[in-house]
Amino acid sequence: MSGLIIPALVALAVFLTSTLSGVFGMAGGLILLALLLTFLPVATAIALQGAIQIIANGSRAWFSRSYIDWRALGFICTGLAAAAILLFILRYTPDLATVCIAIGLMPILVWIPKHWLSLDATKPVHAFFCGFLAGGLNLAVGVSGPTVDIFFIRTEMDRRKVIATKAATQVISHAVKVVFYSTLATAMAWGDWVMVLIAAPFAVAGTNLGYHLLQRLTDVGFRKWTRWIVTVIGAYYLLRGLSLLAGMQ
């Protein structure tokens, strides 16, 4: 029975975090990674979270596929490819304290005033840097939601187009991440793939619920709650990273 506890917890976490991401297009992956990092090596946790997020984001992109901005997605993927090549050349490997601190600092980005840093994913150059910066961070620390968000939250897109295009972006980014970490000996054993199969239907169900909840949310409420949710999650990561550096864990 004890062997079923972790899969059951992961399945529940996947459902809840997929619902959250279905509404806000982010935050769910941050929480899921935090859970996985409590009992898995860093590289394995990042790869497993990526595999599960492919399903969650893939179903979200499918449910809202008519809203995807394919032009912006193309430029974003170009930037992602450049980041992946650079990290592969550098032979990058993750460290838990660095990962936590980097994720913890990300929410600062969503509070930067628009006139300080006006980014727009519908512009080709901006979309390329979105892919390079956010894709690189996703590969390096496992998530990049707040970084992706600064390129979308200030566009003229409505919330459904934002969610759809971000979901498609994350599907590709997470797929690249799984491939990237599959080269490390510590990443994704066969048991981890079983976990992905168990989590898959819960990811789809949660995403479906989140998609319907999104239709009831206003654009103003969507932007307001997104900022506060990722800020609270970021504070948790930052405190954990600092405690690791201080030798408290």
pLDDT for res 126: 92
Is the pLDDT at 1 greater than 50, yes or no? Answer: no
Average pLDDT on 135-142 reads 88
- In this predicted structure, what is the pLDDT of residue 119? 83
In this predicted structure, what is the pLDDT of residue 183?
67
Can you tell me the mean pLDDT for 80-88?
Answer: 93
Q: Which pLDDT value is given to residue 80?
A: 94
Mean pLDDT for the stretch of residues 183-190: 62
What's the rounded mean pLDDT across residues 183-202?
73
pLDDT in tens, 95-137: 888 888 988 888 787 777 767 777 888 899 999 999 999 889 8
Taking the model in full, what pTM does it have? 0.77
Instruction: Tell me what the mean pLDDT of segment 130-154 comes to.
Output: 83
pLDDT at 24: 74
Q: What share of the chain in percent tops pLDDT 70?
A: 92
For 17-49, what is each residue's pLDDT tens digit?
Answer: 888 877 776 677 788 888 888 888 888 888 888
User: Helix/strand/coil (H, E, C) string of the chain?
Assistant: CHHHHHHHHHHHHHHHHHHHHHHHCCCHHHHHHHHHCCCCCHHHHHHHHHHHHHHHHHHHHHHCHHHCCHHHHHHHHHHHHHHHHHHHHHCCCCCHHHHHHHHHHHHHHHHCCCCCCCCCCCCHHHHHHHHHHHHHHHHHHCCCHHHHHHHHCCCCCCHHHHHHHHHHHHHHHHHHHHHHHCCCCCCCCHHHHHHHHHHHHHHHHHHHHHHHHHCCCCHHHHHHHHHHHHHHHHHHHHHHHHHHHCCCC
Number of domains in the chain: 1
- 187 pLDDT more than 70: no
In the block, tokens 């809202």 appear at 64
pLDDT of residue 75: 95
Instruction: Reply yes or no on whether the pLDDT at 3 is more than 50.
Output: yes
pLDDT digits (tens, 9 = 90+) for 213-237: 877 777 777 777 777 888 888 888 9
When pLDDT is cut at 50, 70 and 90, the band that residue 78 belongs to is very high
The whole domain housing 78 covers 2-245
Is the pLDDT confidence value at 84 over 80?
yes
What pLDDT does 249 receive?
Answer: 56
